[in-house]
Amino acid sequence: MTPATDEPVGHADVRTVGSTDALPIAPALGLSLDAASMPRKSTLVTRRILLISVLAVILGVAAAYVAQLLMLLINLITDLCFYGRVSDVIGPTAHKGSFVLSPAGNHLGVWVILIPVIGGLLAGIMARWGSRAIQGHGIPEAMEQILTNESNIPARITWLKPLSSAFAIGTGGPFGAEGPIISTGGALGSLIGQLLRVTANERKVLLAAGAAAGMAAVFGAPVASLVLAVELLLFELRPRSLIPVALATVTAVGVRYATYGAAPVFPMPSVLQPGGMALIGFVLIGGLVGYASVWVTKAVYGVEDMFEKLPIHWMWWPALGALVAGVVGWIEPHTLGVGYDNIDALVQGHWGLTMLLTFGALKFISWVIALGSGTSGGTLAPLFMIGGSMGAAIGMGINHFMPAADIDPRIAALVGMAAIFAGSSRALLTAVVFAFETTRQPACLLPLLGGCTAAYLISALIMRNTIMTEKIARRGVRVPSEYAADYLDQVAVGEVCSRNVVSLKANQTLAEVRPWLNESGEDTRHQGFPVVDEAGHVCGVLTRRTLLDPQWHYTHTLAELVTRKPIAVNEAHSLREAADHMVAEKVGRLIVVSKDDPHKLVGILTRGDILASHAQRLREARESSRHLKLRQGFKPQPRSGNTMDGHGHGRGSGR
């Protein structure tokens, strides 16, 4: 038996690939039991984490520059299509720093309706003859590849997605640029993971690192991007994934700071810490916006279903959706394009109630129809605008009817922005941290947490899938919605294994054993029996089927039938270790040895024992009980009976 190493060969370190390591067992019992009981090394990470972290840093740099390139391309197309020039983007009179050119100042009149149609038509053509995977807002597609395809995103998506999105958004599509950038960063990480020799889990980490770096590069929000990767892409919180993704987001934001400076993306005037009444108002705003987020999600997929029923090829759908966006953009130009300037206006309190209601309603109509048509674009920015408009309007309404509440409309807009994202995606922590990082207003943290939690609660109660998962759930993909510690990793083998072990002697013949098996006694009902030598050491395990197999002559000894090395675990190992070991060795039972004496057989662990251990978990989750009654809790306890002495030991009657 050779000790387990950190190299990715043979038996992998199971904690770093999904759980804790179950030790491989060698052919000879003495060696195998010694190995099974040896102290386990720290298995939080292996040396492979260094390679993945270096790749993640490279991804962070690449994703940051890809984000800048995509924003430049969107601005160029916007400038050319709506203003007939490119001087606003490149040249001596170009805008400085990080900016998104708004189409709202165009003077095209009614002709503006046709501009988004051109972008939608190009997006449909690229989807038809490129890949239909470029449709949508990016995150659900990345989730699907992680859950069903070992994080293998086709290489062509790396350039098709940003190009189609640039045309769709640059021509006035009512989408955010962050979705395509997240998708492109993820595709880039997947591509690197396919070019190099890595595991599927490592490829998933690279995909998440690229996606998170893309989001961080757009918004300058490294922590929110990391949390988004955990909540929507990784489906885990482990060092082996957390470290590389965190390094990628820090690197991407570092590149952004070096290029554009460290100012917040959505600058917001300093606000005062809200009082108690205001805090209640913000929680109410969050709950109302959270309820609205449920219907926003249903509207998006309802529109998708309507397009599915059209008697024309799906390639033309984005052009039809863009036609509606163009009409709405003609009525209210602020609904066109990325619209980050609209978010600035919301958090700075520049809009009155009429503008809030008009813009919010028209942006919703434009975005939900364009997105439902299957074009390429992001959902985060539109959701922020819709939710921000709702939040600010509700805040003004509360102030009108309850002036004592003193709701700040700017904070109300920010709470609405975060709450609609928390409700529609159920990424609670991402919503709270994102809103804080992009504005850097610490006074908003408490309202954000209260409002987003209310939205999350409402959404969880009445909506099964989210705006991120509904599409792939319809395709039969099951998406994890909760991240809990592995129950099997909390239970030791020694707690559930069968201790009453019936063993056979190696020098026994089949002529002796078969009649005993046919007696159908209590000891003969087992399906597997350890075989021990004269010293009491286990030689292996023989199944009932092997012992009764007629191909073996009755003169054979049991030692002659043992052809496989004994597979064992220590009683101190977890059930997760044992289960992984069973899978790796393709066996249904394991020998259990003592943690103090590696040569001592203490039991047998079967698959049935592992399944039966879940009874405790189900009982804790389903059974309600009352352990303390108030009337009894204050009564003096009797001195006799089962009481505890000063050392914590029970006294009185025993069991």
**Which of 268-272, 385-389, 391-395, 451-455 is least confident?**
268-272
- Give the C-alpha separation, 284 to 272, whole Å: 19
Query: pTM (2 decimals)?
Result: 0.81
* Alpha helices, H only, 230-379: 239-260, 276-308, 317-331, 340-347, 353-372
- Give the model's pLDDT for residue 41: 47
Q: Which residues contact 479 (CB under 8 A, 6 or more apart)?
A: 143, 147, 465, 469, 472, 473
Q: What is the mean pLDDT of the chain?
A: 84
Q: Using CA atoms, how far apart are residues 391 and 252, in angstroms rounded to an integer?
A: 31
Residue found by looking up tokens 């987020």 in the block: 293
Q: What is the pLDDT of residue 325?
A: 93
Q: Is 167 or 21 the better-scoring residue by pLDDT? A: 167
pLDDT(234) > 70: yes
pLDDT of residue 281 exceeding 80: yes
pLDDT digits (tens, 9 = 90+) for 316-360: 999 999 999 999 999 999 999 898 999 999 999 999 999 999 999
Q: Could you give the maximum distance between any two Cα atoms of the chain, in Å? A: 100
Q: Is the pLDDT of residue 390 over 90?
A: yes
Mean pLDDT value across residues 476-501: 84
Residue 460, pLDDT > 50, answer yes
CA distance 317 to 311: 10
- Look at residue 589 and give its three-state secondary structure: strand
Lowest pLDDT segment from 68-77, 233-242, 254-263, 546-555 = 546-555
What number is the average pLDDT over the span 463-472?
88
Q: What burial letters (b/e) apply to 252-274, b meaning 16+ CB within 10 Å?
A: bbbbbeeeeeeebbbebeebeeb
Looking at residue 424, its amino acid is S
- Answer with the residue of higher pLDDT: 583 or 246: 246
Q: How many residues does the chain have?
A: 655
Residue 269 has pLDDT above 50, yes or no: yes
173 within 8 A of 325, measured Cβ to Cβ: yes
Q: What is d(CA 27, CA 235) in angstroms, rounded to the nearest whole number?
A: 38
Burial 445-482 (b: 16+ CB within 10 A, else e): ebbbbbbbbbbbbbbeeebebbbbbbbbbeeeeebeee
Q: Reduce the DSSP state of residue 528 to 3 states and report it.
A: strand
27 pLDDT higher than 50: no
Distance CA 192, CA 190 (A): 5
Q: Within a 10 A sphere around the Cβ of 402, how many other Cβ atoms?
A: 13
Average pLDDT over residues 42-66: 89
pLDDT band at 643 (very low <50, low <70, confident <90, very high): very low
Q: Which two tokens stand for residue 362?
A: 């028209």
Confidence at 111, pLDDT banded by 50, 70, 90 = very high
pLDDT of residue 527: 73
Average pLDDT over residues 363-383: 90
Question: What pLDDT does residue 374 have?
Answer: 86
> What pLDDT is recorded for position 654?
38
User: Where residue 508 falls among pLDDT bands split at 50, 70, 90?
Assistant: confident
507-529: average pLDDT: 77
pLDDT of residue 519: 77
> What pLDDT is attached to residue 608?
87
Task: Return the pLDDT at 632.
Answer: 59
User: What pLDDT, on the 0 to 100 scale, is given for residue 473?
Assistant: 87
Per-residue pLDDT, 639: 56
Weakest mean pLDDT among 12-21, 212-221, 551-560: 12-21
Radius of gyration of the chain, Cα coordinates, nearest whole angstrom: 31
Reduced to 3 states (helix: H, G, I; strand: E, B; else coil), residue 426 is coil
- Top pLDDT among 616 and 117 is at 117
Band of residue 35 on the pLDDT scale cut at 50, 70, 90? very low
**Across the strands, what pairs with 548?**
none
Which carries the bigger pLDDT value, residue 497 or residue 644? 497
Instruction: Look up residue 647 and give its DSSP letter.
Output: T
Q: Where do the domains of the chain lie, and which CATH numbers do they carry?
A: 14-44+487-616 (3.10.580.10), 48-260 (1.10.3080.10), 276-474 (1.10.3080.10)
Q: Which residue has tokens 């975060």?
A: 418
Element at 579 (helix H, strand E): helix 575-585
Mean pLDDT of 581-608: 82
Output the 3-class SS for 128-196.
HHCCHHHCECCHHHHHHHHHHCCCCCCCCHHHHHHHHHHHHHHCCCCCECHHHHHHHHHHHHHHHHHHC
Q: Which residues contact 268 (CB under 8 A, 6 or more apart)?
A: 347, 348, 410, 414, 439, 440, 441
Over 80: is that where the pLDDT of 366 sits?
A: yes
Residue 524 has pLDDT above 90, yes or no: no
Q: Shortest CA distance to 372 belongs to which of 159, 120, 122?
A: 120
Q: Where are the beta strands (DSSP E) in 572-626?
A: 589-593, 601-606
Residue 171: pLDDT band with limits 50, 70, 90: very high
CB-CB neighbours of 118 under 10 Å:
18
Q: How far apart are CA 585 and CA 317, in angstroms?
A: 52
Question: What is the CB neighbour count within 10 angstroms for residue 420?
Answer: 32
Confidence class for position 243, pLDDT limits 50, 70, 90: very high
Q: Which residue has the higher pLDDT, 389 or 482?
A: 389
Using pLDDT thresholds of 50, 70 and 90, give the confidence band for residue 8: very low
What is the average pLDDT across 451-464?
A: 94
